[in-house]
Amino acid sequence: MEKVVLPFGNGAGVYDGQKVSVCAVDDYGEKAVGGCVLKSPSKVWQKPILRGFAYLFYGLSAYFNAYIEMKGLQGQEEQNKSFKIAGKINIASSYFVMIALALSSFIFGFVVLGVLPAFLSRKILGGGASFYLTRFIIALLRFGILYATFVVLRFLPFMGGLYGFNGGGNIFLSGGKEGFSPRCQPLNFLNFLLNVFLISTFVVSLVGINVHWSVNFLLNGVVIFAIIPLCYEYLRFANSRKGGFWGFMATLTNWLVSAKPQTTHSEVIRVAGLELENYNDFAKAEKGMVPMSAVFAQMETKLRAVDRFEESDVDWIIGTILNKSRAEIKLVRFVSQKEARDILRATERRATGEPLSNIFGWVEFYGLRFDVNKKVLSPRMETEILVEEALKKIEEYSAQNVLDLCTGSGAIAVTVAKYSKARVFASDISKQALMVASANAKKNGVKVEFSQSDLFKSLKKGRKYDIIISNPPYIKRADIEKLDIEVKKYDPRLALDGGEDGLDFYREIITEAKTRLNKKGWLFLEVGAKQGEEVTALMQANGYENVCAVKDYNKIERVIYGRTCK
């Protein structure tokens, strides 16, 4: 059975044929979750015609259970408010309210739907019209009056919550497609009920059975019973890509019960959906605790609004603040209000483009932890490829001395020192960067000899290396302002600017490395997108042999390496 969204005025439920989960929201935007396990329909109910009855009857059962759960989630303050209002209504006034509602329903049913259509049909057709034409006009008038009534309800303020949650449910059922209209998912439970009601009224009025009240009641019940599966199959077809005209017709009723959802509507349904997908039990939160699903939904809303949603980023934020691994955070049901606030504050900073490494002051690289700040470039995942290739050659040739030029945070040098037996040297022009790199070496328990130097200029004369590794600045100067705010605002410009064509550092490193490498020594370079061919040509022009290019996870040439001939 497909998922069904069950909208209420203060929340929504999601039903999948086995479980129903609900999320309620109060006046302050706080969310509470609950749910229950229901008896699932057998496979026989999935067949055509029968599935229409299953959709109705199991859906109504889920709606009833969702309503019970929703009432259970209602906060004590809201309950007290209800009791206070109830206390102001005495017995006499409560009877008056009930009588007024009953009288209004009778007037609407008897006069508006009964007498008025018959009167108008006589005015339109006169006295000589055929029975069937008269019944058709009466059916049409009743349908029109009901449709107009729902149009009025559509714009009443107190219905906004219900229709907003239903519109959000339509988008949820569509898979959350960007720009998807809440009216373009006609197979939703409210629209199904509305179609059954409208079409049944039209058909019963059209047939016009008038024998005995008991027979009338029985035959009209049979008509309605037959309409239920037909409405379902019609909306199911209208919901498909082949719906065409019928899809358009279905939106005419779906519009009556669906409104553009606000952020809260969408978040509440997302929370209910997450609860349904991730948990088999529906434990209630202790006082002062916040559902993890509600926190995740708010994070997703904030990040998607600025097109920065990455599930790995969300896991990093949650895991760092809760001090748990990615596997462990999947088991977290509730967090404290302070933890929720801390998670959402970090999410807001991420939404502005601030890197996670800058928010928390550290980044994971090659399984090691490195502290970073605005004085160093945060190591990227692609740089792990550079380290991986260099480590292979270090082991293959038993390299003794390795140099990391432009070390920055020290990620390359520290990782090589951690996973090889080579003696590692590292240099950078920035004194602040060297302080960060030195601290990272100490925290990871390795020894690296650091030097402040503009590339090779201040390095010890006469010292040679078996392997030189470098991830130098390679962004074209004119392109720096075009970079994402995450890079241009938070990474040091010194670590980005590669000159007019982005190749200044490669020319100098490739030329001078020949005099600093031992015989058959290797030079490894990380390059930017579309720089692979140019850097390869530079190395070949300078006499390097066995020049190779290694692509990254996006099939971009990211690492170029080769060795000296002498």
Find out if CATH 1.10.10 is the number for domain 286-352: no
| DSSP notation for 410-448 | SHHHHHHHHHSSSEEEEEES-HHHHHHHHHHHHHTT---
Burial of 283 (0-12, 13-18, 19+ CB in 10 A): exposed
CATH 1.10.8 residue ranges of the chain are 286-352
Q: Report the chain's terminal Cα–Cα distance, integer Å.
A: 72
Predicted pLDDT of residue 98 = 61
Measured CA to CA, the distance from residue 161 to residue 204 in angstroms comes to: 32
User: How many residues are listed for the chain in this entry?
Assistant: 566
Predicted pLDDT of residue 82 = 45
| DSSP notation for 94-116 | HHHHHHHHHHHHHHIIIIIIIIH
- Are 325 and 319 a contacting pair, CB within 8 Å? yes
Compute φ and ψ for 69, nearest 5 degrees. -65, -40
Predicted pLDDT of residue 64 = 92
Burial of 412 (0-12, 13-18, 19+ CB in 10 A): buried
- Are 181 and 27 a contacting pair, CB within 8 Å? no
CATH 3.40.50.150 residue ranges of the chain are 362-563
Predicted pLDDT of residue 483 = 64
Burial of 289 (0-12, 13-18, 19+ CB in 10 A): middle
CATH of domain 362-563: 3.40.50.150
Element (H, E) at 213: helix 213-239
Per-residue pLDDT of the chain (566 residues; tens, 9 = 90+): 688 999 998 999 999 988 999 999 887 788 889 888 888 888 888 888 899 999 999 999 999 999 888 888 865 445 445 445 445 555 555 556 567 666 776 676 666 777 787 788 877 887 677 778 888 888 899 899 899 999 998 998 888 899 999 999 999 988 766 455 666 788 899 999 999 999 998 998 888 767 676 777 788 788 889 999 999 999 988 887 676 788 888 888 999 999 989 999 999 999 999 999 888 777 777 777 899 999 999 999 999 888 888 888 899 899 999 998 888 888 888 999 999 999 999 999 999 888 888 899 898 899 899 999 888 888 888 899 999 999 999 999 999 999 999 999 999 999 999 999 999 999 999 999 999 999 999 999 999 999 999 999 999 988 999 999 999 988 877 766 766 666 666 666 666 656 778 888 899 999 999 999 999 999 999 998 889 999 999 999 999 999 999 998 889 999 999 999 76
Can you tell me whether residue 459 is helix, strand or coil?
Answer: coil
**Of 34, 35, 29, nearest to 10 (Cα)?**
29
